[in-house]
Structure 1
Amino acid sequence: MSKTSTGRQTTWVEKALRAALYAVLIIMAAVYLMPFLVMLLTSLKDVEEIRTGTLLSLPSTLDLSAWGKAWGEACTGNNCGGISPYFLNSFQIVIPAVLISTLLGAINGYVISLWKFRGSDLFFAALLVGCFIPFQVILLPMARTLGWLGIANTTTGLVFVHVVYGVAFTTLFFRNFYQAIPGELVKAARLDGAGFFTIFYRIILPLSTPIIVVTVIWQFTQIWNDFLFGVAFSGFDTQPVTVALNNLVNTSFGGKEYNVDMAAAIIAALPTLAVYVLAGKYFVRGLTAGAVKG
């Protein structure tokens, strides 16, 4: 076989392997997206068509009434049949909890990695232990703490819970990232007269964009999808959307409206889906940004 023909054969084999790889990836993506497709199709059908049709059958006519009912289009005063009021509750919990836990994690990671002090390793070990404490273990002491602080059954209380539980993870992220920053950078700034917060604000934070993105995505997803803390520490009017979704799905009058349940589940998942679609590539970059020092 000639060199040219060998080269052609190699090119053909590479193309075949690439095509097979793409085929496998497409099949796996289709399998992964199948539940979402079933949810979407079900939400666009009426109840009778759901009962008589199949899961993957296309709707005969597009029926968007389930989406309006899931959102709560018919409201009387503060009484809404859907999840719209609780959707706002989740944002009132997520936004401050993410911002506060990210800021505290950045400062903690900055101190532990670049401003060594006596007991810093022990402090970091304690935070690591906090990452592995099961949620169920802290329910009772946290409930007593919230009652003592006077913020039980409030969105402020849920913000406090998520900040306390999330700061261990955010500290771990920032500490590992800051380990890759040369300590000489901080020493040089100190020689120039820069203080603790000046170095943090003017030097460290501008370098922290990748890990900030990672932390925000991680915390946003964890807090938005949380159910246990929401059901344990919220009141009727302060429930996050996950608790409201559970109540909607498990409460029915007359026949079961699967189209409303599917529409509500998709609405509840839209914020996290949007975060991953818009910032997913930055999440991967941020995870690997501090992997190599220098």
Structure 2
Amino acid sequence: MINKEQIAADYKAIQDEICLALENLDGKSKFEEELWEREGGGGGRTRVIQNGNILEKGGVNFSAVHGKLPEVMKKALKVDSDDFFATGVSIVIHPNHPLVPIIHMNIRYFEMLNTPEGQEPVRWFGGGIDLTPHYVIEEDARFFHGQLKVVCDRFNADFYAKFKAWADSYFYIKHRDETRGIGGIFYDRLTANDNLSWEEVFEFSKALGRIFAPTYIELVNRHRNEVFTEQQQLWQYQRRSRYVEFNLVYDAGTKFGLETNGRIESILMSLPPTAKWEYNYEAEPGSEEEKTLSLLKKDINWI
């Protein structure tokens, strides 16, 4: 059976692959790496790219941490024991071009350690990929969701529909009554069952990680050379503000990192370098901005 050391090693390899692909895509900037240790146990590799040809700010982070779970997290995760291990890769990319989307990916593994004799170990995988376009371009949305469906269908015919609905609900900004973007897939607490072994669940996690680079490279190259206006960039900054609101108010990964004494710079690397909260900003009727707002809804079928 797979173990946590193998999972962490394979996740590190995926981090390496994605960083190389993104550097080649940008053609200018390189990732800066910072190794860090967590006071309670474990550590990680934070990699940030900034001020590139197309990638204004991005992070591709790996962590493998362990230690004692705070009481608040024990209650949130509904577990009884204290000792935990968690590893994963987390990515957020903010481009400098308003027609190129923000993208987020996370693949992760969680395990409770020192399981009492006679009890099943508590362990699961989670993750997902979602896209946040500043302008929703329907052809791009169909391509993106099609890529995710192909990966899901390799492992279980029900995964895409189930995990797509989960993403629609999860990446929802309640106080704005809009989704963060066009969704994607999201899953949590995925375990071995009658249909999938632990090895297959892990392979699904890795396949999802490895679809990230080719999918985003295609989306970037479709639009990176298009001319944009000052008004479109202002809209980009407005849409970034909604991304910030979600991550600081609702995001479970942010909360987990803060509650488990994670590294603050790594946790908050998902925030864009520039965002604006212009008071009572409203899209003009009939504009592309208004069209985008109309598509920030749950349950849109992009396939």
- TM exceeds 0.5? no
TM-score between both structures, scaled by the size of structure 2 = 0.24
Larger helix proportion of the pair: 1
Which of the pair has more CA radius of gyration? 1
Between the two structures, name the one with larger relative contact order (CA 8 Å, sep ≥ 6).
1
Larger strand proportion of the pair: 2
